Structure 1
Amino acid sequence: MTYRILVPIDANKERTVEQTDYVRSLPMDRDEVEVKVIHVDEADYEGAPPREFEDIPSATTAVEEIADAGFRCEGEKLEGLVAQTILEAAESFDADEIVVAGRKRSGVAEVVMGSVTSDVLRSTDRAVVIVG
């Protein structure tokens, strides 16, 4: 049975390092784990030039480092509302675990500004690991 890990990456290098370090440290049989790294571009960001996965340094670095650790790993760029798209990707990939990076915010700032991590955590029955 394959264990599937979804790793949604944003453009922040420090958060990406935390996510990839977590995956690379897992004491699992590399042959039994499949990792998918995704980057979600906001659907409502009009006028932006089209980007491919390879145009997102944090995402390509994550794939390379996870693959170098011996895991089967692929990357994909998606478009949509970030939290919703992550949840849809987890469903499509049949992820056993979602590895997200937390942001350092106060309780009030998180309530006022919202949080992709909080939205994902509250909206799934899959395991969610928050690093950082």
Structure 2
Amino acid sequence: MVRVLLALDDDVPQSHAQTNAIEAMVEGASDAEVYILHVFVDNPEGASVQQVEAVREASDRLESAGVGVELLEASGSPSDEILQHADELDVDQICVGGRKRSPAGKALFGSVTQDVILGTHRPVLVCGSSDE
């Protein structure tokens, strides 16, 4: 069984790229489980993970592809929550989004992505936006 933590923010094109990568990765797997995590940094209205369009679309696509999906939500530091959930769930891989950067900025990942890569021993898949 392949177990993946798919960390999504609310960027829909970014979630499409990440979902495409997950679908390709689990295509040959006999059994796959994807945990979709959305971390609320500021949530004064008390929204739930089901209300995040990027999460809904990713979940629908993966379930249609026969992948088991579990939705998770957290509040706080995105990188800390991603790393904590990856450890608690003992996933095989973490999938995070990358951002388009200038040539000079490509030398560094975004802070969340960089913190996740440096903070785990697990493989981390970084996906660029599907608009790139």
Q: TM-score range by the shorter chain?
A: 0.7 to 0.9
- Indicate yes or no: 2:62 matched with 1:66: yes
Structure 1 pair 110/55, CA: closer, same or farther in 2 (3 Å)? farther
% identity of equivalent residues = 29
1:81 corresponds to 2:77: yes
Contact 1:60 1:75 (8 Å CA) reproduced: no
**Structure-2 change in CA distance of 1:38 and 1:68 (3 Å):** same
Q: Which runs of 5+ in 2 are unaligned?
A: none
**Partner SS, residue 25 of structure 1:** helix
Equivalent residue for 2:98?
A: 102
- Number of residue pairs matched? 126
Alignment partners' CA distance in 1, 2:2 and 2:56: 22
Give the equivalent residue in structure 2 for 1:9. Answer: 8
Partner of 1:41: 40
What is the distance in 2 between the residues matched to 1:40 and 1:117? 14
Q: Work out which of the residue numbers 111, 117, 121 in structure 2 matches 1:121.
A: 117
The 1:4/1:51 distance shift into structure 2, 3 A limit, reads same
Gaps of 5+ in 1: none
What CA distance in whole angstroms lies between the structure 2 residues aligned with 1:114 and 1:18? 17
Residue 108 (structure 1) shift? 4.9
